[in-house]
Amino acid sequence: MKKRYYLTLTIERVERFQKAAKAAGLHPSFLSETVDDYLDEMSGIIETATKKGKITVLDVFTEIGKQMEKYNEDETKTVGEAKAEI
**pLDDT given at position 85:** 61
Q: How far apart are CA 14 and CA 22, in angstroms?
A: 12
Task: Provide the pLDDT for residue 74.
Answer: 78
> Does 83 have pLDDT greater than 70?
no
Identify the DSSP state of 54. Answer: S
Q: Looking at residue 59, what is its pLDDT?
A: 79
Contacts of 15 (CB under 8 A, 6+ apart): none
Sorted by where each begins, the domain ranges of the chain are 11-85
Q: What is the DSSP letter of 23?
A: H
81 pLDDT exceeds 90? no
* pLDDT, tens digit, 9 for 90 and up, residues 25-69: 999 999 999 999 889 988 887 888 788 787 888 877 887 888 788
